[in-house]
Amino acid sequence: MSAEDLEKYETEMELTLYREYRDVVGIFKYVVETDRRFYLCNQVDVKARSEGGDVFFEISMSDCWVWDMYRPARFAKNVKVLTFKDVNVEELQPAEIDPPK
């Protein structure tokens, strides 16, 4: 497979992922961003934890969709993430979940 073929494949995968996102965003209430992933979910709980002087975040989500073009199944019933980096949680408003067609 040439570099051009690989680039074309990744571009097609990203477009497919965006189309899926556009189709499902309306059924979710929250957007959660971590340093590694982007999630849509209907329930989210973020807890700051401390252990040995280090602070980390424990994020629990349910009814999730994961933005990851390499995952064979992007829907997950429950997701738990542990991270030492920033976490952004936003509640979606109906006007915000209507992406351009």
Q: Is residue 73 part of a domain?
A: yes
pLDDT in tens, 6-26: 888 889 999 999 999 999 999
Q: How many domains does the chain have?
A: 1
Q: How far apart are CA 15 and CA 17, in angstroms?
A: 5
Is residue 96 domain-resident?
no
The CA distance from 54 to 99, in Å, is 39
Domain enclosing residue 73, as ranges? 3-91
The answer to whether residue 99 sits within a structural domain is no
Q: Is residue 80 part of a domain?
A: yes
Question: pLDDT tens digit string along 45-91?
Answer: 999 999 888 999 999 999 999 999 888 889 999 999 999 999 999 99
Asked if residue 97 is part of any domain, the answer here is: no
Q: HEC states along 53-82? A: CEEEEEEEEEEEEECCCCCCCCEEEEEEEE
